[in-house]
Structure 1
Amino acid sequence: MENIIQIPYTPRPAWAKVLHKELSRHRFAVIVAHRRFGKTIGMVNHLIRDALQSDLISPQYALVGPFSAQMEIIAWGPLKYYTSVIEGIKVNETKKYVEFPSKIPGAQGARIYIVGANNPDALRGTYWDGVILDEYSDMKPEMWTQIIRPAIENGDRKGYCYFIGTPKGQNNFYEMYKKAKTNKRYFAYLSNVYDSGILDAKSIEELKEDMPEVEFRQEYLCDFSVSAINELFSLEELDKAFSRELTEKDVPYDMPLVQGADIARFGDDRTCIWRRKGLMAYAKPRIYKKLNTMQTADYIALAMDEHKADMTFIDVGNMGAGVVDRLRQMGYTALREIPFQGAAIENKRYENIRAEMYFKLKDWIEDGGALPDEPGLREELAVIHYKYSKNGRLILTPKEEIKEKLGRSPDLADGLALTFARKVPLRQLGFDDRKPKVLMCNTEYSIMGAI
């Protein structure tokens, strides 16, 4: 008698009538769908079905998203829930996979992994019988061409790969969709909010009313021709910045040494102190956790003295204001408090100081800025996107969204961006000391003809 396993999953009409059937017939597929379509849940259950039905020796499947922390939230929980009814299922919380009971004595059972594209090494050097690339727009094209494509070509075991996501302009996901529409080996599918029938007419009209037109067209009409949210730093730009190598000899002597200090707010947040001189950001920023106001001020003072910083910009959110007050009590004047949500100097272009700083960082990278290979920095910079506010000014991805994707606060990126908060005067010939006893000019640095 056949053992029937009832998974607590009720597919939406598009999945039941079209997608699950077509995916089973195709080795490659590209699915473009609007927000709230149920892309990830549908794919989780498709993998579960394939894992249960496979008669291969130790089959392996992976659901890959842009970031590990993000996938843990949106996919790991559902995978455990839908497989919890399977007798003998094993859950590995460390490596994020579930293992099904083996059908072959002595062999590993089928496994489904949840993986972040920010950890590509987890996907290398093995085989895959099926892979889902979720939100492929946010991944490097090399994830497919150099890692996944070779891994699903394993002798007689021809693994499959499906690309799913919502449009984000005409990027690698768009190119893959175009290819799928004309290539017989691929299945191509696009469903906007009017096609799917998932949302009622009233909900759709409310979304249109509350969202900028460009965002609605991209997120719910699946329009590749618009780009409501854009990556601030392209992957190519970051590759170049991290590959550049500069030393003190490459930086003009009169360039000021600028420090940026992002102050930890609570929990696992970090206080990060960066220093930058001209086109060179120094390696090994100072990183601290769980400091009180007095301790934070002491460590910033130590960095100011040791590096003879010409200016230190300090984030004054929450505890930062107290740190600035303490440093001034200690006699330090070469510092400036920066409220991230404060008004930008170029306030007709930028929504706030945070956006202005990051766009200056972007300009610096384009001009040849060199970034050190600090663990986590690339990931934090890559996840930052921008769009235009209703006032027509540039605004960045809210910090809360970044924390949700990364599983942590982007403290490294914020500390680096702070070194671009204001312009700082060039050093004067023979001037090489910035101890507290030396007073700084209180002039607004943004109006000085300086770097």
Structure 2
Amino acid sequence: MTPEEQLKQELIEDIASFTHDPLGYVLYSFDWGAGELAKFPDGPDQWQRDVLNEIGDKLKSGAISGASEAIQIAVASGHGIGKSALICWLIKWGLDTFEDTKGVVTANTDNQLRTKTWAELAKWHRLSITRDWFNCSATALASVDKAHEKTWRIDAIPWSENNTEAFAGLHNQGRRIIVVFDEASKIADPIWEVTEGALTDNDTEIIWVAFGNPTQNTGRFRECFRKFRHRWSCRQIDSRTVKITNKKQMQQWVDDYGEDSDFVKVRVRGMFPSASAKQFISVEDVDEAQKRHLRADQYDFAPKILTVDPSWSGDDPFVIGLRQGLRFRVLRSIPKNDNDIQMANLIAQLEDEHEADAVFIDAGYGTGIKSAGDTMGRAWQLVWFGEKATDHGFLNKRSEMWGGIKTWLKAGGAIEDDAELYQDLISPETVPRMDGKIQLESKPDMKARGLPSPNKGDALALSFAYPVGKRYRGIPGLNKSGLATEYDPYAG
């Protein structure tokens, strides 16, 4: 064996020793304190070391086997903490230390993926001691060995809700899979769901990391820190605790906007905002509404409004709700049903059972139900979401009704502990307009963001369509529709 071959063999053996030691690999593979890394003689920052060590410790435990035990790490941070560098180290370690490792990297946008994430990877690959082991193209880092170039690689894949096959095919039985979501806040929920469903190989090292600024307080990245926290190891990194950040700039932001402002929460503290920039109803308001438990005397004096939001598409529920003053609950949520007669009978039954003072139906898919109700002698009213708003500050009736929800929540409205209703209320965003009118994004636009139609939210919104007064029962024909000329929006 020639001296050159001996050195190559020693390098292979050294790198192999870091199979379950990502931090050791990073310290070994880069020339810290020299050349382009002259300003970093100590190598990774402490938070980066913590993440690398966590992965190594879990791998060494031998408990990783399939999606149920996959290593899933989510990091929400302020600006400038070095998350892109950590992503690159993980990718390099993953490939270098395990033969035929496969994986994908995606980001919030194609531009972010190509010009930032992948450009950073190309830099760290060039700086690494193993740069001759893999070819770095514009879309992949693949083995130079022709026999392995299809099986030993990481691919940069822009996500698309219309093309999820690349994320559905993440299988590598008995070996290693690495998945990286960069700027994860804006990666659509369906991509998370498809990825999760694909990571099912047993006896496989599965490592899924999601990094980003916490710009949105809805979506799957947010839920890593809340609903799915039992599956994700979560970190929120304050930029001021990291060596390389500009502390002077951070302090200026704190001075200008305040420590507890959403601006500072997102850009400095690594915290999710109370409300995203375009979010119409804040998480805080909905959280408080879920916590409220009202006494009957706080709402039973108010008129009862039965609302009906028919299914918008095949996977949307048919929702019937009831609001009385500050209390709202969903009475029925059933799969899409186009049998107008059957649904009309159900609505009539609930109207009588709860002695509703008014019944409002979304006209978009409810005209047949209204006609069926007419034949039964029911005075139900259609609500056209696109009609002109009474309040000139809103673009249309839909945005005006959702404005009613917002005001009602702040006035003390109470909702049940319903995860679907919760998401419905915090999901819609506003659309900027030159005239200043409030406009909500359309349902198709919400679906394009990977969100379902907010049928339960719309059921609550319908209760604010028109003024409602208590029906005078026992006097046939008097105020049969439940409509009134005087109306307290917080009571009825």
TM-score using structure 2 length: 0.54
Q: Where does residue 231 of structure 1 map in the other structure?
A: 279
Letter in structure 1 aligned against 2:385 = F
Check conservation: 1:62, 1:132, Cα contact below 8 A. no
Letter in structure 2 aligned against 1:279 = L
Q: Where does residue 330 of structure 1 map in the other structure?
A: 376
Where in structure 2 are the equivalents of 1:292-307 lying within 5 Å? 292-307=339-354
Q: Distance in 2 between matches of 1:94 and 1:322?
A: 40
- The offset of 1:30, in angstroms, is 5.2
Letter in structure 2 aligned against 1:323 = I
Letter in structure 1 aligned against 2:332 = P
Check conservation: 2:319, 2:459, Cα contact below 8 A. yes
Q: Where does residue 459 of structure 2 map in the other structure?
A: 415
* 1:275 paired residue among 308, 312, 322: 322
Alpha-carbon RMSD across the aligned residues, in angstroms, is 5.0
Q: Where does residue 320 of structure 1 map in the other structure?
A: 366
Q: Where does residue 217 of structure 2 map in the other structure?
A: 138
Where in structure 2 are the equivalents of 1:334-349 lying within 5 Å? 335-346=380-391, 348-349=392-393
For residues 112 and 278 of structure 1, do their structure 2 counterparts lie closer, same or farther at Cα, with a shift above 3 Å needed? same
For residues 187 and 301 of structure 1, do their structure 2 counterparts lie closer, same or farther at Cα, with a shift above 3 Å needed? farther
- The offset of 1:381, in angstroms, is 1.2
Q: Where does residue 205 of structure 2 map in the other structure?
A: 110
Q: Distance in 2 between matches of 1:439 and 1:432?
A: 8
Where in structure 2 are the equivalents of 1:281-430 lying within 5 Å? 281-317=328-364, 319-333=365-379, 335-346=380-391, 348-425=392-469, 427=470
* 2:197 paired residue among 92, 96, 99: 96
* 1:52 paired residue among 80, 88, 95: 95
Letter in structure 1 aligned against 2:280 = L
Identity among equivalent pairs (%): 23
- The offset of 1:64, in angstroms, is 11
348-357 or 132-141, larger mean C-alpha shift: 132-141
Check conservation: 1:62, 1:112, Cα contact below 8 A. no
Greater C-alpha Rg: 2
Unaligned runs of 5+ in 2: 1-8, 13-35, 49-74, 109-158, 180-192, 250-274
Letter in structure 2 aligned against 1:344 = A
Q: Distance in 2 between matches of 1:149 and 1:410?
A: 26
Letter in structure 1 aligned against 2:217 = D
CA displacement 1:3-28 (0-9 Å, x = unmatched): xxxxxxxxxxxxxxx9xxx9x95528
SS in 1 for 2:436: coil
Check conservation: 1:231, 1:382, Cα contact below 8 A. yes
Q: Distance in 2 between matches of 1:336 and 1:29?
A: 47
Q: Distance in 2 between matches of 1:152 and 1:286?
A: 34
For residues 256 and 110 of structure 1, do their structure 2 counterparts lie closer, same or farther at Cα, with a shift above 3 Å needed? same
300-309 or 242-251, larger mean C-alpha shift: 242-251
For residues 251 and 433 of structure 1, do their structure 2 counterparts lie closer, same or farther at Cα, with a shift above 3 Å needed? farther
Q: Where does residue 294 of structure 2 map in the other structure?
A: 246
Q: Distance in 1 between matches of 2:224 and 2:417?
A: 20
Q: Distance in 2 between matches of 1:288 and 1:145?
A: 27
Unaligned runs of 5+ in 1: 3-17, 34-38, 66-70, 101-106, 114-129, 154-160, 164-175, 191-226
